Structure 1
């Protein structure tokens, strides 16, 4: 005997699962086809849901984009494995943090997320600035803790720990990440040279005179 179940509102868990499906599908479509090349119909099809289900959560494609791109950056940050570093050797710790930051910045999905955020920033000023900085959040906190520890010990002189950490990450990531958006990747040897030069330049400005 087949037992018929009563249809009703989806449970909270089911709603979360559908939202996750929609977000993942939408991000994949935007990264693959761009904003203009993606339709609501294509998102619904990729997510395996009806258009009615999609429209019940998002009124239009703009609303989808505004939700899923910042979400994708946030998820990338949360999934970013931060390796422990030996904080006693400041130079070695900075090199390790720099390597991790650059490796993450050059991951294909991260490069594409930054690229689409930058390309579409004129349409979505609501998140363009935040999207540029989301990728630094966890690593910047790690770096700030390291710098604060050495500043408290008198090993370095840094007036603004937060700004110093931001500048260091910019030196390490910004230019290689921009090259990657054009499909240009430096050799491993060149990347290591880039990191050590950034570390030494940073330290020359931070060490007590």
Structure 2
């Protein structure tokens, strides 16, 4: 979540591109500040300073710290999936594609920033009923859509026997991602070799259940 370095524009109305770049820089800075300081210790001044903008510029976009948190934490979860392009998931071989998706899911689940985001979202959920349950599911939902599209594409060829694509995608992600993510919440990590072994086993077990035989 690197912070951009472009300076704040002085005078005049910003262009659409400048406004979008400023919004992204602000979000990145806010996420970084929340992760470093926690919610209570983070201030609007700290967020503005981290983004390289003035307080009036920040307040023009957000009414208060609560509004910033509500915007940037779900955005950070969804962005983690969006930037993971997973070109290999387009592979015509279903096993190769599922392994690629699984590797992407593990990269996200075990990323230190994502683990920290999960922690802060859980810790502050009581203050934010708006996304207390949904913040952690945003990345999951995006990944599930990837798997659903992949399975649907192969089901159209008659290669799969799946009655409920959505449920199958959910079970696949539960097999490959949920336990490593929960272990990471407690600071427990398997070796890369062991995670890969377990991922391949999960993919093969899943395919055994969905492929037409």
TM-score (norm 1): 0.83
Tell me which of 104, 115, 131 is aligned to 1:100. 104
Q: Which residue of 1 aligns with 2:81?
A: 77
Tell me which of 138, 149, 153 is aligned to 2:153. 149
**Aligned to 1:120, what secondary structure does the other structure show?**
helix
**For residues 159 and 54 of structure 1, do their structure 2 counterparts lie closer, same or farther at Cα, with a shift above 3 Å needed?**
same
Unpaired stretches in structure 1, ≥5 consecutive residues: 1-6
1:129 matched to 2:133? The reply is: yes
For residues 3-82 of structure 1, what are the structure 2 equivalents within 5 Å? 9-13=12-16, 14-82=18-86
For residues 194-209 of structure 1, what are the structure 2 equivalents within 5 Å? 194-208=198-212
- Deviation digits for residues 85-115 of structure 1, max 9, x if unmatched? 4755433432232122212321222222222
Task: Note the C-alpha offset of 1:164.
Answer: 0.9
Asked if the contact 2:81–2:108 (Cα under 8 Å) also holds between the matched residues in 1, the reply is: no
TM-score (norm 2): 0.81
Q: Which residue of 2 aligns with 1:117?
A: 121
Task: Note the C-alpha offset of 1:8.
Answer: 5.5
Taking only aligned residues, the RMSD between alpha carbons, in angstroms, comes to: 2.5
Task: Note the C-alpha offset of 1:168.
Answer: 0.6
User: 2: CA distance between counterparts of 1:113 and 1:203?
Assistant: 32
Tell me which of 168, 179, 182 is aligned to 1:178. 182
**For residues 56 and 202 of structure 1, do their structure 2 counterparts lie closer, same or farther at Cα, with a shift above 3 Å needed?**
same
User: 1: CA distance between counterparts of 2:58 and 2:122?
Assistant: 26
Unpaired stretches in structure 2, ≥5 consecutive residues: 1-9
